[in-house]
Each structure stands twice: as C-alpha cells, then as structure tokens.
Chain A
C-alpha cells in the first residue's frame, strides 16, 4: 500500500497503530504525556527499536533505517533552527547533506522560503527572526527534502494568535499540495478540524479513538477531546452521551417537565464564553456538566462558585453512541 502503516511500541510510553493514506493529514491529539511526540520520534527513527514502520510500501524498520535514511521532514517543537546558519543555509542543509551541489541546494532553498512567504528573510539568522518567521523557515526546511512523511509537532505553539491564524491558513494550502503523509500534533481543536483529514486521539500511550475529524468531534470518546471540542460527554452504562453546553438548562430547584436528564450539583467554575457564560457544574458523584447561559440568566440565578442548582438536558439534544472500544489500562511502564 502507499502511505504510512506503523505499529509502534515504546515500552512504558506508547503502543499504537497508525494508518494513513498518501495525501492524508493525520491530526494527532491527546493530553500532555499521551505519547504524541514519542509517536513522531518513533516514526523519525529517533527512538531505538520502537516497532514497525512501512512507508510507500517500503519498510523502515526491517532492516532498521537510520533517521538520516528515512524520508521524513520533522518540524520539532521550538523549530530548532541551526542558530549559526542563515535561513537559506538552514533550508539548504538537508539537500547539501544528501549531496546536492551548493548552487542547486541554494536555489531550491530560496524557492522553498519564497513559497512559505519568507523569501526576503533568506539571509537572516534564526536569532533575527520572529517566532512565526522561524516556524515558516522550519517548515520550509522540512519540505525542502521532499519527504514522504511530514511530522509537525505543535507548529502553532507559542505564536501570537494572529500569527498562528495566518500560518494555519497557509499551512493548509501547503498540506493540500503535499504529496506524502503528514502527521500534525496539536492541542487545538481548530487545527485538527481545519487541517486534518483524519484524526488520531492518543491517551496514556494508546489510540483512544480514530476517524475523520468530524466523526471524532461529534462523538468524542475521551474527556480530552470532549473538552477540546467543547462538548459534554457522559458515560451512560455501555454508551456515551454527547450534548452541547447550550442544550443544558440551569434551574435553582429540581426541574419539572420533559427533561429526563437531570443532575443536582454545585457551580464549580464560571468562565466567559463568547457573549455567554460557561458554567461547570460538579455533581456529588464527580460528574461534570457544562452549561452555557446568558449573562442575564446568570444574574437571575445568582450564579457564583459553590451555588447549589440543577442542570437538565432534553433527550432530543443528546447523541448516544457506543463507548467501545472497551477502555484499556494505561501502557504498563517498563
């Protein structure tokens, strides 16, 4: 098959299967410590003996290929541009290392920088670049070697909101042109939904859920994704229920009427959310329910931390789906 097929195993940290077709952008999400960076490093060959990786029908692990012989472009967190080389030399580095003549490598590097919108900064060293510019140079450097697999580790982390938004738009265009498999580690639901063609949710080193971003966002199986997409996801026997915070009604006393789902609890947290207020209600059983209410409603209910109240949701607003696969324990540490 073309694309990427990997079964990765790093004792104590990761035990995951990854499948992606050529042209796929696989958004990898999960809480801190879930194994996202470990996953990228395993594919890049930077962790010894970490399972099977097959790319475009060729095994990278039998026999094991050194990182330099794998056709990856790896944009690590914090870019790690070589500080003593200009942007142009940074981008040309991979081509030069693989034996391209200086002139050719330089021309390709300049073209790549131009494509990322930083052609005019080719002569600058990383110390003289802003965070967003440095990230563009790092992406150009990764793309310049025509990799089969592009690994992006939180490419928008640490950038100003506006800069990140502009780069996201541009990256979407480059990823659409990209002729290999891309893996994008992100903490942002927007990245996963706008850039990803597939989504992989990692938890405790295992794949907790995979599918198209729309599927995963509509039916999250982990608390982490539920929080990312801003949904209430509660377990109900063998199935999960998902519903929007805006479908939850708060009342000072037990509601009467058609709402079947109701929880008694106390206000745990109040945060502004758009032009509404997002209320997190904690029940005595430890269940957390999010509700969005207008400022007027919040005032009327006299909402404040620790205020006791009832939350209710209409059954018609709830999506139910099976909780499978059965939850497995975290990877045994070794």
Chain B
C-alpha cells in the first residue's frame, strides 16, 4: 500500500504532468465505455421494472442462466484445471500446437462455434449421429446443449487464466515438494493448486461472465425455447424484437446481476498484485 502511494506521489510531483496525448484518448475511452451503460440505465422504464422482472418467462430465463452459467463454471474447473496443469507442467511434443488449438474458440465468432458444435454433436453430427443411434441421446435443443455451448466458448478463458497462474506459481515449489517426498498428485493438491487459487478464481469469473453473456453459439446449437434453452441474452433478444422498451429492463437486470457478482468477487480475489511471489 505504501509503495503504491509513493509511486503515485512520484509520478505527480516529480515527473511532471501526464501528456495530453495519453490522457485525452484515455478520457475518450472511459466515456465510450461508460456512456452506453449510463444511457441504458436512464432509458429503462423503471415504472414497469418490477412487473417485467417477475414475468414468468423472465424468471425462467434468469433461473436457466444461473443454472447453465453455474454448470459451465463447474465443467470448466473440472476439465480446464487439469488441462491447464498439463500445459504448464508436462513437456510433450506438440504442446504449443495444443495450446494454440485450445485458444481458437477465444477468437471464433460464437455463431461459428454453434454451427461447428452442430456438425459434431448435432442429431446427425459426426459424433451426435452415432450416439443417437446407439443410445437415443441427443443434445441439440436441450439444457445440456446450452451448457455444452457455453463451455465451448468459456473454457479457453479459464484454461489461459489458470495456466498463467500455474506458471507464475513456479515449478520450484514442485521440486521442493518432490524433495520432501510428495507424489505429483499430493504436490498438486497441497502446493500447486493452492498457490494458483487466485488464477483459478479469476478464470472461473471470466468463464462465468462469458457464459452469462453467451448468445450466438447458444441460439445456434441449443435454440431459444423458454424454460429449456432460453437464457437471459436469448430472452432479451426475443423481447427486443416485439418490445424494445421491455428489453431495456431485462438488459438492466442482466447488467446489475453481472456487476453485482463482479463487485462481490473483486475485493476478495480480483485485486491486482496479490498473487504469490515467485521463487528465487
């Protein structure tokens, strides 16, 4: 804390004014980011807010969003943590390639992700077709499909965040643990994972936020059926087509929900520079 204060004082009093070439664009960026959210809040028909919020379809969409984003985070933790560990700790041929492939969904347009998921897991997809013939199970247009679509787009965020945390937690501690007689699993449980915990939480929040806002892949792969696959973003879009006013209310609800969760987590986990120090 004292360091931070010192730095601030130094840059102000000793190094001179910040150049306009930097602070002017910075101010524009802030306005650009804050303005739409402000106008959204101002334009919301607050008089009908409660009625819009308690609409059964909205409540169903909210419930489904909470359920699917929660499930997505759990799947990301269950699959993504081991993947991040393997990428960070196990040298193998093609590791760079795997890392590159894993991060492709980061830059993929969500609609493309949805189409791709259909070709793999659709009723007649490469995997989905045989699966349906063998077991009768199909994914598209089910709540499971929503979680699959969300996980597909959210997992890369989680893996990248956790891999970074595992790398900065340092392999030196793994060596120390091994020297003390720990198996790799024991070291992972007792040392590696606890030290990477801030990264795990940050990754989970990223994955959760990505899942909460996911629209394109969900609509394409899972559809837009109230109560089954209609999450809040899908609901907002459907409502918007008929009644833009009411859509604003729903948008505000989603905005408040996400900002609320971020605010809760921020104090505890997301402050910068609280990670464990590197080992000499």
* Chain A residues near B (Cβ < 8 Å): 44, 46, 66-70, 72-74, 76-78, 80, 82-84, 93-94, 96-98, 141, 145
In the complex, the chain B residue whose C-beta lies closest to that of A157 is B280
Chain A residues near B277: list those with CB within 8 A: 83
Chain B residues near A98: list those with CB within 8 A: 181
* Chain B residues near A (Cβ < 8 Å): 172-173, 175-183, 186-187, 190-191, 194-195, 276-277, 279-280
- What is the bound-complex CA distance between A44 and B177, given in angstroms? 12
A68/B182 in contact, CB under 8 A: yes
Chain B residues near A70: list those with CB within 8 A: 179
A80/B182 in contact, CB under 8 A: no
A67/B175 in contact, CB under 8 A: yes
Number of A-B contacts (CB under 8 A): 63
CB < 8 Å neighbour of B179 from A67, A78, A82, A84: A67
A68/B176 in contact, CB under 8 A: no
A77/B280 in contact, CB under 8 A: yes
- What is the bound-complex CA distance between A321 and B178, given in angstroms? 45
Chain A residues near B280: list those with CB within 8 A: 77-78, 80
CB < 8 Å neighbour of B180 from A83, A84, A141: A141
A68/B183 in contact, CB under 8 A: yes
In the complex, the chain A residue whose C-beta lies closest to that of B178 is A67
Shortest Cβ-Cβ A-B pairs, 4 listed: A78-B280, A94-B180, A97-B182, A67-B178
B183/A97 in contact, CB under 8 A: yes
In the complex, the chain B residue whose C-beta lies closest to that of A89 is B190
Which secondary structure dominates where chain B touches chain A?
helix
CB < 8 Å neighbour of A145 from B178, B181, B186: B181
CB < 8 Å neighbour of A80 from B172, B186, B187: B172
- CB-CB under 8 A for A94 and B181, given A76-B172, A80-B172, A84-B195: yes
In the complex, the chain A residue whose C-beta lies closest to that of B170 is A80
Question: Given A74-B176, A97-B187, A97-B190, 20 more contacts at CB 8 Å?
Answer: A46-B178, A68-B179, A68-B182, A68-B183, A70-B179, A73-B179, A76-B175, A76-B176, A82-B191, A93-B180, A93-B182, A93-B190, A94-B181, A96-B190, A97-B181, A97-B183, A97-B186, A141-B180, A145-B180, A145-B181
- CB-CB under 8 A for A46 and B175, given A94-B180, A141-B180: yes
Taking the nearest CB of chain B, how far is it from the CB of A104, in angstroms? 15
Taking the nearest CB of chain B, how far is it from the CB of A298, in angstroms? 41
- What is the bound-complex CA distance between A82 and B174, given in angstroms? 10
Taking the nearest CB of chain A, how far is it from the CB of B277, in angstroms? 7
Chain B residues near A93: list those with CB within 8 A: 177, 180, 182, 190
In the complex, the chain B residue whose C-beta lies closest to that of A158 is B280
Chain B residues near A67: list those with CB within 8 A: 175, 178-179
A80/B279 in contact, CB under 8 A: yes
Chain A CB within 10 A, most for which of B172, B190, B277? B190
- What is the bound-complex CA distance between A77 and B280, given in angstroms? 7
- CB-CB under 8 A for A84 and B276, given A74-B176, A93-B190, A97-B186: yes
A80/B173 in contact, CB under 8 A: yes
- What is the bound-complex CA distance between A141 and B178, given in angstroms? 13
- CB-CB under 8 A for A82 and B175, given A93-B190, A97-B181: no
